[in-house]
Chain A
Amino acid sequence: MCRGVCCGGFIAALLVATRPAGAAPPSLSSQDLQVLGSALTFVQPRPAGTLAVVYSATDDASRQDAVAIMTALGNGLPIGGATLTPKLVDAAVLGSTDFGLAIIAANANGEAVAQSVDARHALCVTADRPAVQRGLCTVAINSAGRVDIFLNSRVAQRAGITFATAFRMMVREQ
């Protein structure tokens, strides 16, 4: 167990350290993540534990985006009094990873990832709105300019997640 965590931590540190200077901004900005942190108070059950930042190991852009998201998350994602600890996770091993919330980096949304998230009854968040429309993730967030939150209620239902009715009335839903 310790070996796995240490190994994962080492890989994460290596990935962050090797992030090229002047890299593209993350698909989910710091502001998007703040919006997410606040929005999670309207989710039941409230996510806890590890926040998996999921990337596709076969896609450099996906990996770089995940690293940028990790950087934006800093020490974690605060929700109320708790903090979710972020962890970089290769999409290929997501099924064997324990997590309470998944942020899917660019080009990493897919059927296998969606199934892994569903199996954990976890909430899936991404910047990729078409992926949410296709039922591959639960929530898409974009706060550049006017805040836009898009929710796929079927995916939420599949994962056993509910959103406050008041919140659902203020977001775009499918």
Chain B
Amino acid sequence: MKCWLSCLAQCLTIVVVAALSASPRAQQLDYGTLEQVFHEPVTTSATGQPQRASEAPVNMTIVTQDDIRRTGATTIPDVLQYVAGVDVRRYGIADEEVGIRGYNAAYNPRLLVLVNGRQVYSDDYGRVFWPTVPVQLAEIRQIEVIEGPNSALYGFNAVSGVINIITYDPLHDRINTATLLGGTQHYWGGSAVATGQIDDRAGLRVSVGGYQARDYGPANLSAIDAANRQNPLVGAFNVDGRLQIAPGVQAYIDGSMSDSRFAEETFAASFETNMTRANSIRAGLSADTAIGLLNFSAYRNGQELSIDSSAVKGFPNWVNESVYIVQANDLLKLGADHVVRIGFEYRNNAETSPGFIGGTIGYQVFAGSLMWNWQITPSVALTNAVRVDELQLRYSGNLAAGTGFTVADYNSTSFAVPSFNSGLVVALTPEDTVRFMIARGVQVPSLFDFGVQIPFGAVGPVVVAGSPDVHPSTVDNIELDYDRALPAIDSGLRVAVFAQRNRDLISQPFAVPPVIGPTGLPLLLTSNVGSSNAAGAQIGIKGHSDSGFRWNVSYAYVATTDNTVLNRGGLITSAINYANSTPRSVGIAGIGYTRDRWELDLMGRWQSSYQDFRASLNNPFLLEPVEVRNYLSLNARAAYRLTDNFTVQVAAQQFNASRLLQTAGPLVERRVLFGVTAGF
């Protein structure tokens, strides 16, 4: 520990000295200007290196601010549902789960979600509380969706994919807008974004927003679940400042707070209402120097969660969580054809809950990473990235009796896990690009997986516990993509095929078969439960015309097979049943038209049937399958610009059906929202 801190201090010293002593370079990553230069979105999410989206060695979709606005969506998952390969499950107006290429479930722990590179998922289950993500849709420049593992850049949990939400830069982008929305389900919401700048030396962007609504009706739910659900009430505040200290040297600081109450489907397929307060503070420095583009950042995320549910009556129902992350990296161009990125990361998290954990569980991670991009020829580039994460677990508190584990077992647990990404990008012609990628991602057990402690008798005649012995899950992925630009029709075509193997799947303890513990008590223990394979393909085309039309059509297919020890003997205890719980086919289509003051869009999403689960009323440890039949959901939006500053809009979500069974949760209802936006 001391050695690492010493190394970190030395790295920091090098960063500061280099930043101050080297000759200053020009301005750094300014997304907007770079997009103007290259006539396409730019990204750093694939490798950490600034790249044109078309040259990134990953399957990436970039959802722009125009795309976001035209969906008429009020949440980020509602925007993402129109990305091929992304699966969105709607368990409520605020409760949505996002997965990539299948493997979606309540509390999905396989997706890494970031805002400007800062993690916004919770380490408790590795899940994302989407309503607490402190970003207003109007301040998002682009959402970068990477399909497939990318742990070699980001570390744990980037296994199914990565979603990096990039907001406007307060130093370069002047966003001043306010929106008011109201509609069915008693929905009322609004947001405001304001930016202040001092020349090109300093910028500050502030955003605030929130909404309340009546959640979808409980007609499809048990009386217990219906009673556990409360209507959503969500608010968030964010501030983002940047300072140009000198040419090539920038400092930044951002902070956020969010407060939410919303009903959520749990991993046990029952409903509860979460009251969540989250906050973050981050500071960083980047310097373009003779020894490369140096970046340093440090941040803290905090979260206070209080659970309201009949299932946890009698428990201290709160969970506090914090994570500290320090990152430093150097991005260096060597000669004309090589780019190298060296990165270090330190992470320290802790979760405290007397009711669910019996104390505090946490871990620290030391990680080192190396990325090398080699432009072999003007049309061929090879990128290799490796990363090693070393995790050291710790626990303090009172372990549940009957597991056989001691506090010393926890505090002596550590492991190191490597991950890698390799991508070959070949520009066959100016219009044709082929990408071949192989990768290994790593999913670390969540804090709950490691540390839950529920004594015998608390929820039944069984001890429920996490395990320090559970292994990380790994995902090996191989993929071949082909992109074809079709300039004659201003369109782009993408075809992708992939296969992946998931080893050492991790199951939370409630779902595994019970065993007899060392003291003779029945024991449910977090376990590695087997493997799962997936293979799939995607094809999509997106384009526009000078006359104002735009269109997109895509189809995604994924087939999944499981080989696990779960759900044997006719009893369903686990939602890890990916073969049945993944819709195999998803089709997406959209058409839009902009003329004069009008903006009109129509979007549709169809998906095939799949199996979801709800908690059994007779036995809290059992699940009942719910067959979700294939369905089509159509959305439309019309907007009219009254003046240069004011726009009115109406958006209809799922206008083709008043109610649809989309999950085992409540029926998703048709929504109509009216809004007015002022921009200055």
**Which of A34, A41, A149, A173 has the most CB atoms of chain B within a 10 A radius of its CB?**
A41
In chain A, positions 16-49 with a C-beta closer than 8 Å to chain B are: 34-35, 38-39, 41-44, 46
What is the CB-to-nearest-CB distance from A3 to chain B, in angstroms, rounded to a whole number?
38
In the bound complex, CA of A80 to CA of B25 (Å): 17
In the bound complex, CA of A78 to CA of B378 (Å): 31
Contacts of A170 in B (CB 8 A): 34, 38, 42, 50-52
- Chain B binder among A56-64, A84-92, A98-106, A157-165: A157-165
In the bound complex, CA of A85 to CA of B8 (Å): 49
In chain A, positions 142-174 with a C-beta closer than 8 Å to chain B are: 143, 145-147, 149, 153, 162-170, 172-174
Is there an interface contact between B33 and A41, defined as CB atoms closer than 8 Å? yes
Selected A-B contacts with CB under 8 Å, 5 pairs: A147-B38, A162-B25, A163-B26, A165-B333, A172-B336
Contact with A along B17-44 (1 / 0, CB 8 A): 0000001111111100110111110100
Is there an interface contact between A167 and B333, defined as CB atoms closer than 8 Å? no
Contacts of B23 in A (CB 8 A): 162
Number of interface residues of B (CB under 8 A): 38
- Given the interface contacts A162-B25, A165-B288, does A173 sit within 8 Å of B36 by beta carbon? no
Contacts of A162 in B (CB 8 A): 23, 25-26
Q: Which of B27, B36, B333, B487 contacts A168 (CB 8 A)?
A: B333
In chain B, positions 479-531 with a C-beta closer than 8 Å to chain A are: 485, 487
> Which residues of chain B have a CB within 8 Å of any CB of chain A?
23-30, 33-34, 36-40, 42, 49-52, 54, 200, 247-248, 288, 292-293, 331-333, 336-337, 339, 375, 378, 430, 485, 487
Contacts of A174 in B (CB 8 A): 336
Closest to B430 in A: A146
Contacts of A35 in B (CB 8 A): 36-37, 39
Known: A44-B24, A165-B293, A169-B333. 19 other contacts (CB 8 A): A41-B30, A42-B27, A145-B430, A146-B54, A147-B40, A162-B26, A163-B25, A163-B26, A165-B28, A165-B292, A165-B331, A165-B333, A166-B50, A168-B333, A169-B339, A170-B51, A170-B52, A173-B336, A174-B336
Contact with B along A129-145 (1 / 0, CB 8 A): 00000000000000101
What is the CB-to-nearest-CB distance from A172 to chain B, in angstroms, rounded to a whole number?
6
Q: Which of B30, B51, B200, B430 contacts A169 (CB 8 A)?
A: B51
Contacts of B36 in A (CB 8 A): 34-35, 38
**Which of B36, B42, B200 has the most CB atoms of chain A within a 10 A radius of its CB?**
B36
Is there an interface contact between A80 and B200, defined as CB atoms closer than 8 Å? yes
Closest to A46 in B: B26
Q: From DSSP, what is the main secondary structure of chain A's interface residues?
A: mixed
Contacts of A172 in B (CB 8 A): 336, 375, 378
Contacts of A163 in B (CB 8 A): 25-26
Contacts of A39 in B (CB 8 A): 37
- Given the interface contacts A145-B430, A146-B430, does A164 sit within 8 Å of B200 by beta carbon? no
Q: Which of A38, A145, A168 contacts B37 (CB 8 A)?
A: A38
What is the CB-to-nearest-CB distance from B13 to chain A, in angstroms, rounded to a whole number?
21
In the bound complex, CA of A14 to CA of B272 (Å): 80
Is there an interface contact between A164 and B39, defined as CB atoms closer than 8 Å? no
In the bound complex, CA of A143 to CA of B49 (Å): 23
Is there an interface contact between A153 and B50, defined as CB atoms closer than 8 Å? no
In the bound complex, CA of A153 to CA of B337 (Å): 12
What is the CB-to-nearest-CB distance from B173 to chain A, in angstroms, rounded to a whole number?
14
Q: Which of A41, A143, A146, A149 contacts B26 (CB 8 A)?
A: A41
In chain A, positions 62-118 with a C-beta closer than 8 Å to chain B are: 80
In the bound complex, CA of A43 to CA of B288 (Å): 12
Nearest 4 A-B pairs (CB), nearest first? A44-B26, A164-B26, A173-B336, A38-B36
Is there an interface contact between A164 and B37, defined as CB atoms closer than 8 Å? no
Contacts of B25 in A (CB 8 A): 44, 162-165
Is there an interface contact between A164 and B27, defined as CB atoms closer than 8 Å? yes
Closest to B288 in A: A165
Contacts of B487 in A (CB 8 A): 145
What is the CB-to-nearest-CB distance from B203 to chain A, in angstroms, rounded to a whole number?
14
In the bound complex, CA of A131 to CA of B332 (Å): 27
Is there an interface contact between B34 and A167, defined as CB atoms closer than 8 Å? yes
Q: Which of B24, B26, B40, B49 contacts A43 (CB 8 A)?
A: B26
Closest to B339 in A: A169
Contacts of A153 in B (CB 8 A): 336
In the bound complex, CA of A146 to CA of B552 (Å): 21
- Given the interface contacts A41-B26, A41-B30, A153-B336, does A164 sit within 8 Å of B378 by beta carbon? no
Closest to B331 in A: A165
In the bound complex, CA of A169 to CA of B332 (Å): 9
- Given the interface contacts A145-B430, A147-B39, does A169 sit within 8 Å of B49 by beta carbon? yes
Contacts of A146 in B (CB 8 A): 39, 54, 430, 485
What is the CB-to-nearest-CB distance from A159 to chain B, in angstroms, rounded to a whole number?
14
Contacts of A44 in B (CB 8 A): 24-27, 247-248
Contacts of B30 in A (CB 8 A): 41
Contacts of A38 in B (CB 8 A): 33-34, 36-37
Contacts of B339 in A (CB 8 A): 169
- Given the interface contacts A38-B36, A172-B378, does A167 sit within 8 Å of B26 by beta carbon? yes
In the bound complex, CA of A153 to CA of B288 (Å): 16
In the bound complex, CA of A163 to CA of B50 (Å): 14
Closest to B335 in A: A173
Contacts of A41 in B (CB 8 A): 26-27, 30, 33
Is there an interface contact between B26 and A42, defined as CB atoms closer than 8 Å? yes
Contacts of B51 in A (CB 8 A): 169-170
Closest to A162 in B: B25
In the bound complex, CA of A172 to CA of B336 (Å): 8
What is the CB-to-nearest-CB distance from A84 to chain B, in angstroms, rounded to a whole number?
16
In the bound complex, CA of A147 to CA of B30 (Å): 17
- Given the interface contacts A165-B292, A169-B51, does A143 sit within 8 Å of B29 by beta carbon? no
Contacts of B336 in A (CB 8 A): 153, 172-174
What is the CB-to-nearest-CB distance from A147 to chain B, in angstroms, rounded to a whole number?
5
What is the CB-to-nearest-CB distance from A67 to chain B, in angstroms, rounded to a whole number?
26
In the bound complex, CA of A145 to CA of B488 (Å): 11
Closest to A148 in B: B430
In the bound complex, CA of A106 to CA of B383 (Å): 37
Closest to B51 in A: A170
In the bound complex, CA of A38 to CA of B27 (Å): 12
What is the CB-to-nearest-CB distance from B334 to chain A, in angstroms, rounded to a whole number?
11
In the bound complex, CA of A54 to CA of B531 (Å): 67
In the bound complex, CA of A164 to CA of B25 (Å): 6
Is there an interface contact between A149 and B247, defined as CB atoms closer than 8 Å? no
Is there an interface contact between B24 and A164, defined as CB atoms closer than 8 Å? no
- Given the interface contacts A38-B33, A38-B36, does A164 sit within 8 Å of B248 by beta carbon? yes
Closest to A152 in B: B336
Contacts of A166 in B (CB 8 A): 28-29, 34, 50, 288, 293
In the bound complex, CA of A146 to CA of B433 (Å): 13
